[in-house]
Amino acid sequence: MTLLTTHNLESYYGDFQALFGVDVTINEGETIAIIGSNGAGKSTFLRTLTGLLSSPTDSIVFDGEAIGGIAANEIVGKGLAMVPEGRRLFPSLSVEENLIIGGYSERPGPWTIERIFDLFPILKERRNHPGTALSGGQQQMVAIGRALMSNPKLLLCDEISLGLAPIIIKDIYECLPGIMAEGTSVLVVEQDINQALSVSDRIYCFQEGKISLEGAPGELSRDQISAAYFGV
Ligand code: ATP
């Protein structure tokens, strides 16, 4: 079943148009990766989905409801949650408090603090530490857990591997099957093409605010992906 569709989605920063006619579909149970170089419009796409940038009502349909232009706090309540680029933990709060804040929307669902500690056992050990006393990878786990606490149907992850060592990136991505098993679909924005291809059912490549390529990893050649990514 279709979970999210965007129809001819456009997005602007003032007069500057950053997205042009973007059509994306995400089905329930899918992991989708969005790839593209710096400035291609990946973060803008996520900001538009989550109501941080405005869009016409019918341009985004989520779970059968037109949600374009709805305020960001209401969107969380509808089941869309974002793990922002740079994690943005509350530095003076503990791991546990950061997680509790994520649960404010009170949507029913499988995700509780204990379930998140099952997914990331290290966070249970560190539950009373301030967010800033954690390693980058552990902070990323808190950011993912905080988003899951709102019991989203779709989890949007913006560059979760940025600045992390390969071994830590592997640890982080290993949580995806556990998240999917609870019925949460996942969209990752990922600059690392190999990482994106290895975790996703389908990818969309963005270039200059448009979709330059889409398809399942097995259907796309390296040449096609390079051309779509770098525009050569
Ligand atoms: P990155 O990997 O660098 O985050 P991205 O694919 O996420 O790249 P966006 O951040 O979505 O790209 O940027 C898309 C376009 O919008 C770029 O031309 C960028 O300069 C512009 N842009 C992004 N944020 C703003 C802003 N706050 N104000 C004006 N223009 C912006």
Read off the pTM.
0.93
Q: Kindly give the number of the ligand 1 atom that is closest to the alpha carbon of 206.
A: 6
Q: Is 87 left (phi over 0), alpha (psi -120 to 50) or beta?
A: left
Q: Is 16 in the pocket of ligand 1 (CB under 6 A)?
A: yes
Q: Kindly give the number of the ligand 1 atom that is closest to the alpha carbon of 209.
A: 14
C-alpha span between 76 and 106 (Å, rounded): 10
Nearest residue (CA) to ligand 1, atom 14: 41
Instruction: Give alpha helix (H) positions in 78-135.
Output: 95-102, 113-119, 121-125
In this prediction, residue 65 carries a pLDDT of: 95
pLDDT one digit per residue (tens) for the chain, 232 residues: 999 999 999 999 999 999 999 999 999 999 999 999 999 999 999 999 999 999 998 999 999 999 998 998 899 999 999 998 777 777 788 899 999 887 777 788 899 999 999 999 999 999 998 888 888 899 999 999 999 999 999 999 999 888 888 888 988 899 999 999 999 999 999 988 998 999 999 999 999 999 999 999 999 999 999 999 988 6
The domain spanning residue 96 has which CATH number? Answer: 3.40.50.300
Q: Is 40 in the pocket of ligand 1 (CB under 6 A)?
A: yes
In this prediction, residue 163 carries a pLDDT of: 84
Q: Please give the residue range of the domain that contains residue 219.
A: 2-230
Mutate to test the pocket of ligand 1, among 43, 53, 157 (most ligand atoms within 8 A of CB): 43
Nearest residue (CA) to ligand 1, atom 29: 13
**Largest distance between two CA atoms of the chain:** 50
In this prediction, residue 89 carries a pLDDT of: 79
Q: Is 35 in the pocket of ligand 1 (CB under 6 A)?
A: no
Domain count, the chain: 1
ipTM of the complex: 0.96
